[in-house]
Structures are given as C-alpha cells and as structure tokens.
Amino acid sequence: MVNKVGPRDIKKDLDSLPSYLYRYQNINSEITLGRLEKLLLESKIYFSSPPSFNDPFDCSLPLNYKAGKLSKMKFWKETYRKLYPNVSASIINQKAKGATKGLYSAKGKGDAQSFFDKFNSKHGMLCLSEDNKSMLMWSYYAGGHTGIALRFNIKNLRPNFAIPLKVHYKKNFPELSFYDVVAKEGYLLQWLGIKSFDWRHEKEWRLFNHLGVGLFNMPKDLVDAVVFGLKTSDEDIKKVRDIVLRSGKDIKLQRIAHNEGSFELKVVDI
C-alpha cells in the first residue's frame, strides 16, 4: 500500500525544531577518537552518503515514473543540458527522446534508477536525535552505553551550513515521482525524510548538506556539550575531557545516570 504525499514543508519542520539535538557515537578506538578530535579541535564534521545507512529503505524509497510525455521530455532535456553543456541541441533532443521512450521498458527504468542512485549518493546527511536518554540509542549507536552523545545547540546553526530535516515515520510507502524528487527540493527533502514506523523511537532529525559527502567546516559553537554513557570508562572520560580542554571551547560535560526505581535514564552534570 502507498500513500500520496506532497512536498516537505520545511517551515513546519522548523516550527517544531528542538533547542538541542544529539549525535550518539562510539569512542572505542583511535579512529573514533580521531574523528572526535577533528570535530572539537578543528570544527570539522563528516556528512555521510545516504546509501551507507543501516536501514535498507532509508533514502531508498521506491519511486514511480508517472508523468506526461511533454513533462518527461522537458525533464530529460534540462538534465542532459546540465550533464553535457557543450553538446548540440539536436543530440540533446535525441538523448531526451531515447530516455523518455526507454522508461516504458525494464531496462529504461533500471537506467533511470542508476541515474537516481548517483544523484542520491551526492547528498550529505548528518543523523541526530532529539532524545539524549534513549536506552536503545545508547545501546546500538554508542557502544552499549560506553560511548558519548554530542549535544548540538541549534540556535548556533547557520542557515548556509545545513537544512534541518525532521524524520517522519510511516507504516506504508509514500507515493513519490522520480521527476518530482530529482527536480524539486521540497519533494527531495520529503523523500530523504521518511522512514519506517519501526524506527520511531529514534526521534530523528537530519542535517541535509547540499554540498555533498565528506568533511565540512561547521560553526565552532555548534557542539556545546558532551554526554557520557552510563558505562563510559573513567579512562575514556579522561581522554575526551583532555580533547575538550585542548579545544579551548566552552563545552559542558555531562553523564547519563540511572533514575532509581525505574528503567529510565537521566542526565547529570559532572
């Protein structure tokens, strides 16, 4: 079953944007500590490619190819002009006709899917959560409660750095058009921000980077706290504390504690 959806209303997302978002991560190796140093000392953060995510349907929802012939021709002409700016109009028209006609075959749809996969892999994404006390998130994203959660102060987020995108959880696939998603940002953001209802406990937000995948400079005051897990070792706390001190930044240190009498967690300053 599919549900028809329109473009994402970013303003509506921003109206519900929390003051803080959190990134859970391991600190159990030289590599992970090196990345933390990069982030806190150099203010560089890594944006991942959507195809690398652990959910097979995440940023990989099925698309339909419904559109009128003229709309398809217009789309492919514009696409090929961007891809081949020095090619003549007649060749562009020929390629556009071939692509439009080809979409009626399995091979044509496969070619369009390959084009889309390349298009999709160029978008950078940083996955965060509005919940810093999630038992499950600490378990499978932060080394079984031995890692950390970085606190992102959203008031220090710069508009030209990334677009905050709230993840919406659905029980059924949304109906989205290949042509809308590739050509219209609102539909692309909708497609990138829908996950299965099974992931709703993550309360996820994403920072979407138009510039691509890899390391990017971030606002120096974006991360303003480090939260240690319930089982983070004293040795690892010292390592992270030393990195924070070397950064010279005003970064608060906190820790997860057990809320006695229940399975709930709480955050305390240290």
Does 100 share its domain with 26?
Answer: no
Helices within 43-156 (DSSP H only): 69-83, 89-102, 106-121, 135-141
- Indicate the range of 16-25, 95-104, 154-163 predicted with least confidence: 95-104
Closest CA to 150 of 28, 241, 20: 20
Give the end of a domain, one of 103, 121, 139.
121
Residue ranges making up the domain that contains 114: 69-121
Q: Is residue 264 part of a domain?
A: yes
Does 157 share its domain with 28?
Answer: yes
Does 156 share its domain with 203?
Answer: yes
Q: What is the pLDDT of residue 78?
A: 86
Distance CA 249, CA 259 (A): 30
Does 246 share its domain with 141?
Answer: yes
Does 159 share its domain with 226?
Answer: yes
Does 170 share its domain with 232?
Answer: yes
Q: Is residue 229 part of a domain?
A: yes
Does 136 share its domain with 117?
Answer: no
Q: What is the pLDDT of residue 108?
A: 67
Distance CA 267, CA 46 (A): 26
Residue 210, pLDDT above cutoff 70: yes
Does 117 share its domain with 127?
Answer: no
Q: What is the pLDDT of residue 25?
A: 96
Q: Is residue 238 part of a domain?
A: yes
Does 159 share its domain with 248?
Answer: yes
Cα–Cα–Cα angle for 88, 93, 99, rounded to 5 degrees: 130
pLDDT per residue as tens digits for the range 152-197? 999 999 878 998 999 999 999 888 888 888 878 888 888 889 999 9
3-state SS assignment for residue 258: strand
Specify the number of domains making up the chain: 2
Q: Is residue 64 part of a domain?
A: no
Residue 106, pLDDT above cutoff 80: no
pLDDT band at 150 (very low <50, low <70, confident <90, very high): very high
**High-pLDDT (> 90) share of the chain, %:** 55
Residue 2, pLDDT above cutoff 80: no
Q: What is the pLDDT of residue 3?
A: 64
Higher pLDDT, 246 or 111: 246
Q: What is the DSSP letter of 90?
A: H
Q: Is residue 218 part of a domain?
A: yes
Does 112 share its domain with 232?
Answer: no
Does 174 share its domain with 154?
Answer: yes
Q: Is residue 92 part of a domain?
A: yes
pLDDT per residue as tens digits for the range 112-126? 777 777 777 788 999
pLDDT band at 131 (very low <50, low <70, confident <90, very high): very high
pLDDT per residue as tens digits for the range 29-54? 999 999 999 999 999 999 998 888 88
Does 146 share its domain with 114?
Answer: no
How much is the average pLDDT of 128-146? 97
